[in-house]
Amino acid sequence: MRRVLVTTALLSLIPAAHAAETQQWGALRVTLESCFRASSGTDSGCNVILTNTSDKPLSVNLDSDRDTVSTDGQLATEPKELILGGLSHPYSVQQIIPAGLSMRAQLNYNVTKGVRTLAQVHVGDALFTNVPLQANLPDEPDVNAPGTPVTADANDQARVTFLDCLRKASVVTCSFAVANLTDENLRFNAESSDDTWLLTNRGLVRTANDVTLAGETHPYSVSAMVPARRQLLNQLTFTLPETDTRVPYLQVNGFVFRSLPIAAAPGNRALNAAGDLVDTYRLRDYTGKIDRCTYVRDGLRCDFTLTNRTDAAYRLNVGSNDIAVLTPDGRWFGVKSLTAGGETHPYSVGVPLTTNRPGTLSVLFDAPAGLTTLPFVNIGALEFENVPVR
């Protein structure tokens, strides 16, 4: 076997491990972890941690004209790629860094072969000098330590409360209760991006794979009505490393949560507690009464009586798009079929309303088995509450 003698001269050509350095850029603490050469060619980069030391979110921008490196005797080299929180762009990239948390950045360059030290590294207003280029790609450890959990947030109209985050392999589903704090029905929009995102332990931003509100799932956005003083179930799925056991920061439609655990068992799903029965609802032209709800062979059937309040007979058109039941766990379920005036149809029927005889309507709902009460039943403009299932 041939022996290789490593001399002091040879050792001097190998860059020593770089101790992380810290500089300040306004309210940002900029930590240069290391700079490295990614291959035997010119591909090189620097790993940076940006920490928001203020008590407010900061909008942070990396820019190729400003965030440069230079070597002795050379002009500044602009980055070929900027990565902030996992978002990449060749010229400029921007992210929001929450108060007290850190986001990982990487600035990639083409640095001439043979260069082992960067004379200057600029990141915003921070300047690092005489930074060695390591020969190997560095590890990227966690940058966000566990903090105090924040499990609820609210505005004037709604309160969103964390229920749980559950893992299935690399997919994590986080569930929340959306409560209407007002005495009027509220339209709530749930998004999978824009105002919905999380920050990982390693300082990377993730948007949701999809969003579910009240049982309806969509990759981007879904909207649903939240009855007055009631709650809907809002769920988001993310792809996260299987080693992650918590979420340092999660923003859900602008509502903010921190240090959420990723658990194995679901939390409480009894979102809508039972209350007083409301089985009659009066409108200007007619009155509706819910007579009974019971399980039949094909699903959950509810029967209604509609009484004409005008001086003339007419036919009331009822459409399935305006009919649904809310379950205690905060999900809406729609219609399988409607029956009135001797006809059954999946989409719409006409209920004959005479001046001396009430009309009847039967609705077959696509609801799950095992329900004992319906917190809210919506039949067009008619609203019934806390209806027992017999």
Do 376 and 292 fall within a single domain?
A: yes
Separation in Å, CA 361 to CA 182, 286, 290, 343, 385: 31, 13, 9, 10, 18
Q: 96 pairs with which residues across the strands?
A: 59
The answer to whether residue 144 sits within a structural domain is: no
| pLDDT band per the 50, 70, 90 thresholds, residue 386 | very high
DSSP-assigned letter for residue 297: T
Q: Are residues 308 and 375 both part of a single domain?
A: yes
Q: What's the confidence (pLDDT) of residue 1?
A: 37
More confident residue, 300 or 357: 300
What does the pLDDT look like over 303-336, one tens digit per residue? 999 999 999 999 999 999 999 999 999 999 999 9
The reply to whether 329 and 362 lie within a common domain is yes
Per the domain annotation, does 299 fall within a domain?
A: yes
Say how many domains are in the chain: 3
Distance CA(309)–CA(100), nearest Å, equals 62
**Which pLDDT score is estimated for 20?**
85
Asked if residue 116 and residue 185 are part of one domain, the reply reads: no
Q: Each residue of 205-254: pLDDT tens digit?
A: 999 999 999 999 999 999 999 999 999 999 999 999 999 999 999 999 99
Q: Can you give the pLDDT at residue 58?
A: 98
Of 89, 104, 134, the position where a domain reaches its end is 134
Residues 244 and 324 in one domain: no
Residue 307 lies in a domain: yes
* Element of type H or E holding 260: strand 255-261
Tally Cβ neighbours within 10 Å of residue 261. Answer: 14
Domain limit, last residue, from 134, 161, 192? 134
Q: Which two tokens stand for residue 189?
A: 């929009």
Question: Which of these three, 134, 167, 202, is where a domain ends?
Answer: 134
Do 78 and 180 fall within a single domain?
A: no
**Residue 159: inside a domain:** yes
Statement to judge: residues 18 and 76 lie in one domain: yes
Fill in the amino acid letter for 15: P
- pTM as predicted: 0.90
Buried b vs exposed e over 361-373: b needs ≥16 C-beta within 10 Å? Answer: bbbbbebeeebeb
Domain hosting residue 175, numbered range: 152-261
Q: Are 93 and 83 in contact (CB under 8 A)?
A: yes
* Judgement on whether residues 59 and 164 belong to the same structural domain of the protein: no
Structure confidence by residue, pLDDT tens digits, 81-98: 999 999 999 999 999 999
170 and 119 fall within a common domain = no
CA angle 21, 22, 23 (to 5 degrees): 130
In-domain check, residue 147: no
Specify if 275 maps to a domain: no
Confidence label for 5 from pLDDT (cuts 50, 70 and 90): very low
Chain-centre distance of CA 390, in angstroms?
38
Q: Which residues contact 145 (CB under 8 A, 6 or more apart)?
A: none
pLDDT in tens, 98-149: 999 999 999 999 998 889 999 999 999 999 999 999 987 888 899 999 999 9
Q: Is residue 113 part of a domain?
A: yes
Q: What local confidence, expressed as pLDDT, does residue 18 receive?
A: 57
Instruction: Please tell me whether residues 20 and 127 are part of one structural domain.
Output: yes
The percent of residues in the chain predicted with pLDDT above 90, rounded, is 87
CATH code of the domain containing 287: 2.60.40
Residue 268: pLDDT band (50, 70, 90) is confident
| CATH code, domain with 239 | 2.60.40.1180
AA identity, residue 125: D
pLDDT in tens, 20-56: 899 999 999 999 999 999 877 889 999 999 999 999 9
Residue 3: pLDDT above 70?
Answer: no
Residue 9 has pLDDT above 60, yes or no: no
Q: Which residues have a Cβ under 8 Å from the Cβ of 325 and sit 6 or more positions away?
A: 300, 302, 332, 333, 365, 367, 374, 376, 377, 378
**Are 28 and 89 found together in one domain?**
yes
Extended beta strands in 195-230, E state: 197-199, 205-206, 210-213, 216-218, 221-226
Are 12 and 111 part of one and the same domain? yes
